[in-house]
Amino acid sequence: MCCSGFLKMMMFIFNGTIFVAGAAILGVGIWVKVDSNSLMGILDEVESLPQEVSQVANVGYLLIGVGAVLLVIGFLGCCGAVKESRCMLLTFFSIVLIIFLIEVAGAIMLLVFKDLAETVFDSLEDEVKKSLVTEYGRDESLTSLWNSTMEGFMCCGYKNYTDFNGSPFNVQNGGVYPSQCCNGTSIGETCTQSAAHLASELKMVDGCFDKLLQFIEENSTIIAGVALGIAALEIAAMVVSMVLYKDIGNKA
Give me the tens of pLDDT residue by residue for the chain, a chain 252 residues long: 456 677 777 777 777 777 788 888 888 778 766 654 455 555 555 554 444 444 555 666 777 887 888 888 878 777 777 777 788 788 888 888 887 887 777 667 666 665 555 565 566 777 888 888 998 999 888 888 888 888 888 889 888 899 999 999 999 988 999 988 987 555 456 788 888 888 888 878 888 878 877 777 777 677 677 777 777 877 887 888 888 888 777 765
Give the pLDDT of residue 252: 57
Give the pLDDT of residue 110: 62
Give the pLDDT of residue 49: 47
H-only helix segments in the chain: 2-34, 40-45, 51-56, 59-83, 86-123, 125-135, 140-153, 168-172, 193-201, 208-251
pTM of the model: 0.52
Give the pLDDT of residue 167: 93
Distance CA 18, CA 224 (A): 16
DSSP structure string for 61-129: HHHHHHHHHHHHHHHHHHHHHHHT-HHHHHHHHHHHHHHHHHHHHHHHHHHHHHHHHHHHHHHTHHHHH
Give the pLDDT of residue 164: 93
Cα 36 to Cα 31, 52, 57, 87, 177, distances in angstroms: 9, 21, 12, 43, 23
Give the pLDDT of residue 52: 47
Give the pLDDT of residue 170: 92
Query: Alpha-carbon Rg of the chain, whole angstroms?
Result: 25
In which element (H, E) is residue 252 found?
Answer: none
**Cβ within 8 Å of residue 202, ≥6 positions away:** 185
Size (the chain), residues:
252
Give the pLDDT of residue 104: 77
Distance CA 5, CA 68 (A): 28
